[in-house]
Amino acid sequence: MIGPLLQGVLLGLLLSACTPRVEVVVPDKPITVNLNVKVDHEIRVRVDRELEKLFEQEQELF
């Protein structure tokens, strides 16, 4: 009877020793977000409009 009791205690100790630990740590440096975004939408619209005007003026180009 001591054998199963001792096994239960040892099993309990082993399981409690393996509990995961979670820590929330504040970083030393501030968080930076790099927003290097290239915006060329306006340029493309201008070129498209100029091409449309060119094709309207000279329809025999192609």
Q: What is the Cα–Cα distance from 48 to 54, expressed in whole angstroms?
A: 10
pLDDT digits over 5-60, tens only? 888 887 777 777 666 778 888 889 988 888 888 766 666 667 777 778 887 777 77
In the prediction, which pLDDT does 39 show?
A: 67
User: In which band, very low, low, confident or very high, does the pLDDT at 4 lie, cut at 50, 70 and 90?
Assistant: confident
pLDDT at 2: 63
Q: Is a pLDDT exceeding 60 seen at residue 1?
A: no
Q: How many residues make up the chain in this entry?
A: 62
| CA distance linking residue 6 with residue 17, whole number of Å | 17
Parse the chain into domains and list their residue ranges: 2-58
